[in-house]
Structure 1
Amino acid sequence: MASSLPAFTVRRGEPVLVAPAEPTPREVKPLSDIDDGEGMRFYSSGIHLYRNNPAKAGQDPAEVIREALARALVPYYPLAGRLREEEGKKLVVDCGAQGVMFADADADLTADDFGDVQSPPFPCFEQFILEPTTVAGVEPVIDRPLLYIQVTRLKCGGFIFGQRFCHCIVDAPGGMQFEKAICELAGGAAAPSVAPSWGRELFMARQPPQPSYPHHEYREPAGGADRMLSTPASDMVRVPFFFGSREIAGLRQRAPSNMRCSRFELVAACIWRSRTAALGYAPDEEVRLSFIVNARGRPDIPLPEGFYGNAFAYSVAATTAGELCGGDLGYALELVKKAKSAVTYDYLQSVADLLVLTGRPLFAVSRTYIVSDVSHAGFKDVDFGWGEPVYGGPAKGGEGPLPGVTNYFSRAKNGKGEEGTVVPICLPKDAMEKFQLEVEGLTAAEL
């Protein structure tokens, strides 16, 4: 894990707008009905840390990236636009080449000062990302840049690339696709190897809208108050948990022998069950696991190559706290697998239908553990010419309207160099020890 940083100062230049390097179409493009849901109306943040590369001596990474960014915004011109809200809370992009916000900075740190940072939150991330300004009475994503970038030079010759994307315009793979386009152009390519495709019409509501699934993800569960939502931030603690080969082997021993389970399914079921026990919900209270199911690469979902919008749905596994904690791991796994397989193209269209009919509500959060697996998003593939990042991933441990109930799953190495899944768990202080004991019990090898 990362060491504590020495005292340092970040000297940030005045942020400027970077427009596309060439003329781009002036038009209005509607977002999909999945893009513009209330749960997407925030900025997701990411950070990449790079060491010095002697071959790049004399080159300013901020200038290299800024020039490549302007060129990348030519094919990705909607990212340089602004969101506008129309009737029915429908969001559209005013593509007027207004530009994205960019700042360069310098910090009295070296890449080595960050230690072996493997998982979010990134140390002192607030200093290395450019925060969107807030305007009272205005939606936080309306009529402002859709992308904020800060490049912070380090005194060792390395640098930090920090970004904040409006989630309405891209998901994690879509954002990485754009960043890789910047990398290719920074490396001298004439154009990105993958041409961007808008394709948002695929996830528009049908006419008339006809939701065909219950969509528990948008209905609050029955039961009492959720202590995760009422506990002050000062009483919460965040601890990263590592699931390597030993832990996964222990979980597989507790899975039914005839059940094929992915690493994600095993870890998600383990954490959901352990978290529920640690929080002490009443046995008859409904508890949920909500996780993002990516539509990319699925033969039944006709996504065009180069699509960079939101292509996922929240799927929900639900039961009572008593049934979840009283059953074995196989019970939780069965619920997770069933929820994961439920997301089809028809399901995604049904989500769009429901959002339009119900005013694009925020997803339910009470007694719900929300998971986003970003381990395959491609953060480590973002190379601006200085080599692979030392760290590449989310800046924070969880984001969105209620970051305390969300978690990122990411791939990382432990202190012994073993690669595994890291999950930064956030819980009330008095629940963390109980959670740790529950996880240890499920991951220990059976004799």
Structure 2
Amino acid sequence: MNREKKKKKKKKKKSILRSIMAAGKREEDYPEVFTTKRLTVYPTTSPPTCSRLIHLSSLDRKCPALMYLVFFYRSPPPPSLFSCLKRGLEDTISTWYPAAGRLCVTPPGNKLNLACTNAGALFLEAATRAKISDLGDDLSQHNDFYRRLVFRPPADAALADVPLVAAQVTRFACGGYAIGVGTNHALFDGSSNYSFLSAWAAKTAAATLAVGRRGEGSRVELFEPVHERGRLLLLGSEHVVVVQNPQVIARMSKSSTCAGRRQEGEGSGGDGMRTMRRFMALDHLHQLIKQVAELGSSSTSTGENDLVLRTFGVGRGAVSRLKSKAAASDAAACCSSFEVVAAHLWKARTRALNIPNERMVCLQFAVDARTRMHPPLPKSFTGNAYVLSSVACTAAELQQHSLAAVVDKIKEAKRAVTHDYVASYVAALDAAPPPQQVALPPLPELTMVSDWTKTPYHKIDFGAGEAACVTPLATPLPQVAYFMQSPREAGRVDVRIGLPQRSLQAFSHYFLSEL
């Protein structure tokens, strides 16, 4: 039995090594990817008013860039796959009609909005001499070659020329294929992006059945999408926000780390309008920026500008052990996988980056505001509805705290996201200058987490079964940790994070050895 375990362990190590070696290759080390077909996919029907404008909220405007996912399939595609995907996309963007529009800058204020122009989505077919096996055994490990599996617009492209949805089907020499999808973050947040792709998959699966192919499609609940941002546009006006340093809020907007919160000591003005003295996340970020300014270049010596993307698997058994540790506290006795893994990751990352004990460190994570508002936003709301909550302490305090104590703080920060919190958050963004006018300095003391475990992309079925792997490409903020469901094991959490090369080994030790 021990010999068998050793063999499995050795085989696993070799597999990981092959994946890391593949990830270490440069993009140019792989064969070219050739585009064989390029077309624009238009809706089958016109939107309610073809030329109408959707006014975006400040949450939508935080990161107006294409965000990418690559779906890998090891088996050959059905002969009709490309045409069925195209037909499914046509039907989907007829209902999700903003996806066929374009971003634009409109007066007054020259703000970013969305014109429903029916300009369509972009669809590419491509081929490569590379084999999927060339990419390593673990496709979840980031590889620069993946950038060739998606459409990337020119850096100087005008807004009117950049599609909000772009898809590319790439056939590999081994017979497998990949579907690379880019959707603009101004259009969707993570939850609505998952709903959009699920709707597209359902339409595509129906098309594959129509041509005699086997396919069941995604087994997810589909909703009639709600595209209007009106509730969020009015939300910020509920609070008058008094901010001493609007540039800090702008930096928060740029980094997707802005969050507002009413705190004790807040009062109401004589005119009945609420005022806010401080914001939880704003205060935390302002302290981090001030800390960097006071310490100078020494705070950036952790190599934040040289990040390596890695995926770490936290198995179901490891998650259970973390929950058992957290159960030492009554408040944390019933905690989620996200809460315990986030707490463990924050402690491990802070140790790995060797943050001095006296420095302030901060954990920020996204919370879906749909159910936090009164009345709630519909589940089918397609715009951005995530705000960030925040926990902060010194590095010494973080390491002294038990896992249970850190989980308690995370739960407390999640509970703080109320209707007033969301209104304050939106008001803070509304009051800030355009995010592109300011730059956020490197902040190794800031740990950011995004929970994707409720959006199991690998289960999306376009009619040919589940994907072998679905992985995100590098995002504008590569240091963010993404928690994803794993196709390998139910209950396993895959953590994709960007880390300085010099801290990679230390993080791997602290994060994995203590599970």
Whether TM exceeds 0.5 here: the answer is yes
1:153 is aligned to 2:227:
no
Alpha-carbon distance between aligned partners in 2 of 1:234 and 1:14, rounded to the nearest angstrom? 37
Q: How much has 1:229 moved relative to structure 2?
A: 5.5
Contact 2:316 2:493 in 1 (8 A): no
Q: CA deviation at 1:78?
A: 1.0
Q: Map residues 33-432 of structure 1 onto 2, 5 A cutoff.
A: 33-37=58-62, 40-52=63-75, 56=78, 58-59=79-80, 61-86=81-106, 87-88=108-109, 90-111=111-132, 114=135, 116-117=137-138, 119-121=140-142, 124-135=145-156, 144-188=162-206, 193-204=222-233, 205-207=235-237, 209-211=239-241, 213=262, 214-218=278-282, 219-220=285-286, 221=288, 222-224=290-292, 235-255=306-326, 256-258=328-330, 259=332, 260-296=334-370, 302-359=376-433, 361=435, 366=443, 367-396=445-474, 399-400=475-476, 402-403=477-478, 405-412=479-486, 419-432=491-504
Partner amino acid, structure 2, of 1:12: T
Q: 1: distance between equivalents of 2:130 and 2:425? A: 46
SS at match of 2:413: helix
Alpha-carbon distance in structure 1 between the residues aligned to 2:136 and 2:151: 23
- Contact 2:195 2:222 (8 Å CA) reproduced: no
In structure 1, distance between residues paired with 2:222 and 2:356: 53
CA contact (8 A) 2:373 2:422 kept: no
CA distance, structure 2, for counterparts of residue 297 and residue 151 of structure 1: 36
Instruction: Kindly provide the CA deviation profile for residues 209-256 of structure 1, in whole angstroms up to 9, marking residues without a partner as x.
Output: 434534443443241358786666785444432212342244234322
CA positional deviation for 1:155:
3.9
Cα distance in 2 for residues equivalent to 1:434 and 1:314: 28
> Using the alignment, how far apart are the partners of 2:447 and 2:415 within structure 1?
18
SS of residue in 2 equivalent to 1:20 = coil
- The letter for the 2-side match of 1:207 is S
- What TM-score does the superposition give when structure 2 sets the normalisation length? 0.74
* Greater Cα offset, 126-135 or 83-92: 83-92
The number of aligned residues is 428
Paired AA for residue 392 in structure 2: A
Q: Which AA in structure 2 matches 1:185?
A: K
Checking the alignment, whether the CA contact within 8 Å between 1:209 and 1:356 is kept in structure 2 is no
Whether the 8 Å CA contact 1:129–1:164 is kept in 2: the answer is: yes
Give the structure with the higher percent helix: 2
Q: Identify if the C-alpha distance between structure 1 residues 193 and 30 changes in structure 2 by more than 3 Å, giving closer, same or farther.
A: same
Q: Cα 1:284–1:232, aligned 2, differ >3 Å: closer, same or farther? A: closer
Q: Confirm or deny: 8 A CA contact 1:251 1:442 kept in the other structure.
A: no
Any conservation in 1 of the 2:458–2:487 contact (CA below 8 Å)?
no
What root-mean-square deviation, in Å, do the aligned CA atoms of Structure 1 and Structure 2 show? 3.1
Query: What SS is found at the alignment partner of 2:226?
Result: coil
Letter of the aligned partner of 2:171 in structure 1? R
Residue deviations 1:373-424 (CA, integer Å, cap 9, x gap):
112213123222111111124234xx12x32x2111112266xx57511213
Rate the CA distance shift 1:437–1:390 in 2: closer, same or farther, 3 A: closer
Tell which has more relative contact order, 1 or 2 (C-alpha 8 A, sep 6+). 1
Code of the aligned partner of 1:243: V
Distance between the aligned counterparts of 1:383 and 1:252, measured in 2? 32
Residues 234-243 or 171-180, more deviating: 234-243
Amino acid at match of 2:181: Q
> Residue 33 of structure 2 aligns with which residue?
10
What is the CA deviation profile of residues 280-319 of structure 1, one whole-angstrom value per residue up to 9, with x for unaligned ones? 2232221111111123456856222422211211111111
1:349-384: CA deviation from partner (whole Å, max 9, x where unpaired):
221111111225489662211111112213123222
Identity of aligned residues (%): 28
After superposing the two structures, state which structure 1 stretch, 173-182 or 246-255, moved more.
246-255
Gaps of 5+ in 1: none
Alpha-carbon distance in structure 2 between the residues aligned to 1:68 and 1:47 = 18
Structure 1 distance, partners of 2:189, 2:504, is 31
Q: Is the 8 A contact 2:142 2:310 kept in 1?
A: no
| 1:75 CA drift (Å) | 1.2
CA contact (8 A) 2:373 2:418 kept: no
Q: Is the 8 A contact 1:180 1:381 kept in 2?
A: no
In the alignment, the residues of structure 2 paired with residue 35 and residue 183 of structure 1 have an alpha-carbon distance, to the nearest angstrom, of 25
Name the CA shift for 1:319/1:345 in 2 (closer, same or farther; >3 Å): same
For 2:236, the aligned partner's letter is R
User: Shift of residue 426 of structure 1?
Assistant: 2.8
Q: CA–CA distance in 1 between the matches of 2:85 and 2:33? A: 19
Q: SS at 1:304's partner residue?
A: coil
State the secondary structure of the residue aligned to 1:23: coil
Structure whose CA Rg is larger: 2
CA contact 1:228–1:427 (8 Å) conserved in 2? no
Q: Is the 8 A contact 1:199 1:304 kept in 2?
A: no
CA shift in 2, pair 1:432/1:287, >3 Å: same
Query: Does the 8 A contact of 1:183 with 1:383 survive in 2?
Result: yes
Structure 1 partner of 2:11: none
1:277 partner letter: R
